[in-house]
Amino acid sequence: MPAKALDARALAALAANPGCRRRAILDGAGVNKAALAGALGSPSAFGQSQFALVRGNAFEAKVKADGGTELLRLAHEKLDRGSEPPAEARVPDLTAQGPQGRTARTELALREAAGAPGAWTLLDHPMLALDVAGSPAFLEPDAVVVHPDGSWTVVEIKSFPLLDGAADPAKVGAAARQAAVYVLALEQVAARVEPAPRVRHRILLVCPKDFSNLPTASAVDVRKQRAVTARQLARLTRIEEIADALPEGTCFSPDLPAEQLTRAVEAVPAAYAPECLSACELAFHCRDRSRAEGAVTSLGRPVRAELGGLTTVEDVLAAARGEAGDPDDPAVAALRRAAALRAEALGTASREVAPCP
């Protein structure tokens, strides 16, 4: 089965549920989770509207038009006011054969820029390689800017608006996590250059301004996201350990019969929570399983906070009804108290006598 190349979005999404071994091993092994979900009979609900696609591409083209004049102006204004304004920027041609070729071409362009400081350079769709669990993932940022002082900045171009200087925090967060992956990849390149250029930890987020399609930008500090992603990547290398625990010959090919495939997937433990629905292609499959097992976490992670060692719906209800559980366990005691208070309140209400008139 052809491995699905990990992109920055997928890498950034690792942080969404780092406790999930299923996701870690499937991503680490390059399994196409969308195809897998379809083959399991619980297709993922991720799709993109062509309107959004067209709009996004049109905006990116506008930002980069005219040799990236506007983009570099924003980089100067938001990140590097002390330097010379970009008058004539270099925009090296980065075309090459295949991802390896493009990666090499990008690295060469970055080295050339490092060798001739004092100017602005714009890398349009460079390609970067990042070592993920032992194999390279090829990443394609929207752009990378080389400043006159030789430092590098990741540029993210998004089509959600910057309205009165503010933007949807969830979307900015996602963009920051994605950019952090590029920062890590750039740092690997920088480490190979002598002297190593500085990779800036404030990235440039370019968005449409208010209700127009004029580009505007904001600097985003991604130090936290960078640290998070770095340690998630470090954890991914432990995949071999998980894989060793799998039955011999486990295979996740979507061509296998659904039953066999389900067995293979179930061999790797998942940590499903409702947040997965917006972050993982397998979420509907895992949700079905989680619900079938009666796991309380299918109702949300916070639910289990006060339940102590009880993890299933039936165990909790049995404990609350007094049919099971150790009454000295404070979780069980609290559940019984809660059940009694709830019953009393519902009973009171049906008699229509409020305790506090």
Partner 1 sequence: MTAPATPAVFDPGAEATRATEAILHDTLHGTARGVVVDSPPGAGKSTLVVRAALELAEAGRPLMVVAQTNAQVDDLVLRLAEKNPDLPVGRLHSSDTDPYDKALDSLDHVRKSAKAADLAGLPVVISTAAKWAHVKGVEPWQHAIVDEAYQMRSDALLAVAGLFERALFVGDPGQLDPFSIVGAEQWAGLSYDPSGSAVTTLLAHNPGLPQHRLPVSWRLPASAAPLVSDAFYPYTPFRSGTGHGDRGLAFSVASDASAPDRVIDEAAASGWGLLQLPARHTPRTDPEAVRAVAQVVRRLLDREGASTSERSPDPTPLSADRIAVGTAHRDQAAAIRAALAELGVTDVVVDTANRLQGREYDVTVVLHPLSGRPDATAFHLETGRLCVLASRHRHACIVVCREGVTDLLDDYPSTEPVQLGTLVKFPDGWEANHAVLAHLSEHRVTWRP
Partner 2 sequence: MSLIATLARLEAVSTGRAQPAATVRHRHLSTRPLVFVPLITAGEAGAPLGALVGTDRDAPRLLAVPQPRDRDLRFAFLAELADVVLPYIDGFADVVEPAERSETDPETGKRVKVEVELCADAPQLIVPSRAGIDLVRLLGRSTRFRRTAEQDPETPFPAPPRVPLLGRWLTHFGERARVPGSSLLLAMTDVLGRHWATGQSSLEDQHLGALLAWIAPPEGRSGAEAAQEAELARDAAGQLLCPPAGPATDPAFDNRLLAPAIERYDRARTALAAAEDGLEADDRLGALTAAEREIRALVASRTRPTWDAVWQGLDLLRELPEGSRVEERWTRDRWSFTGHRDRVASGEPPQPRRDDAVTAANKLATREREQSRLEAQEALDDPLVMAARRLSGEAFAGEVVDVVMAYSESKRPSPRPLVTVRTDDGPHLGERARAYRSLGGKPQTVEFVGYEDGPEGGLLVLRVLDRMGRGKEPEPGSVPEKGDRLCFTLFEHEPRGGAKLPDPEETPWTHGGPPGEEPAPEPADQVTEEDIL
Binding-site ranges for partner 2 (CB under 8 A): 45, 47-56, 159-161, 163-165, 208-214, 274-275, 277, 284, 291, 294, 296, 298-300, 302-303, 305-307, 313-314, 316-317, 320, 334-335, 337-339, 341-342, 344-346, 348-349, 354-357
- From partner 1, partner 2, none, which one binds at residue 251 (CB under 5 to 8 Å depending on kind)? none
Q: Which distant-in-sequence residues (6+ apart) come within 8 Å of 259 by Cβ?
A: none
**Dist. CA 231–CA 229, nearest whole Å:** 5
**Dist. CA 158–CA 217, nearest whole Å:** 10
The pair phi, psi for residue 344, each rounded to 5°, is -60, -45
Other Cβ atoms less than 10 A from the Cβ of 90: the count is 16
H or E element in which residue 145 lies: strand 143-146
- Nearest approach, Cβ of residue 206 and partner 1 (Å): 12
Q: Which C-beta is closer to partner 1: that of 223 or that of 263?
A: 223
166 near partner 1, rule: CB under 8 A: yes
Q: Which C-beta is closer to partner 1: that of 240 or that of 306?
A: 306
Q: Which C-beta is closer to partner 1: that of 27 or that of 107?
A: 27
- Nearest approach, Cβ of residue 5 and partner 1 (Å): 23
Single out the residue of 72, 145, 146, 271 in contact with partner 1 (rule: CB under 8 A).
271
* Nearest to 64, CA basis, from 219, 206, 270, 220: 206
Q: Which of residues 324-353 bind partner 1 (CB under 8 A)?
A: 328, 330-331, 334
Q: Which C-beta is closer to partner 1: that of 145 or that of 162?
A: 162
- From partner 1, partner 2, none, which one binds at residue 285 (CB under 5 to 8 Å depending on kind)? none
Largest alpha-carbon pair distance within the chain? 84
The pair phi, psi for residue 301, each rounded to 5°, is -60, -40
Tokens for 198, please give them: 């500085």
Q: Are strands 152-157 and 215-221 parallel, antiparallel or unpaired?
A: unpaired
Single out the residue of 6, 17, 75, 127 in contact with partner 1 (rule: CB under 8 A).
17
Q: Which C-beta is closer to partner 2: that of 54 or that of 227?
A: 54
The b-or-e profile of 227-249 (16+ CB within 10 A means b, else e) is ebbeebbeebeebeeeeeeeeee
- Nearest approach, Cβ of residue 167 and partner 1 (Å): 6
**Dist. CA 282–CA 247, nearest whole Å:** 21
The pair phi, psi for residue 337, each rounded to 5°, is -65, -45
The contact set with partner 1 (CB under 8 A) reads: 15-19, 162, 165-167, 169-170, 172-174, 176-177, 205, 218, 220-221, 223-225, 227-228, 231, 235, 271, 275, 279, 301-302, 304-309, 328, 330-331, 334
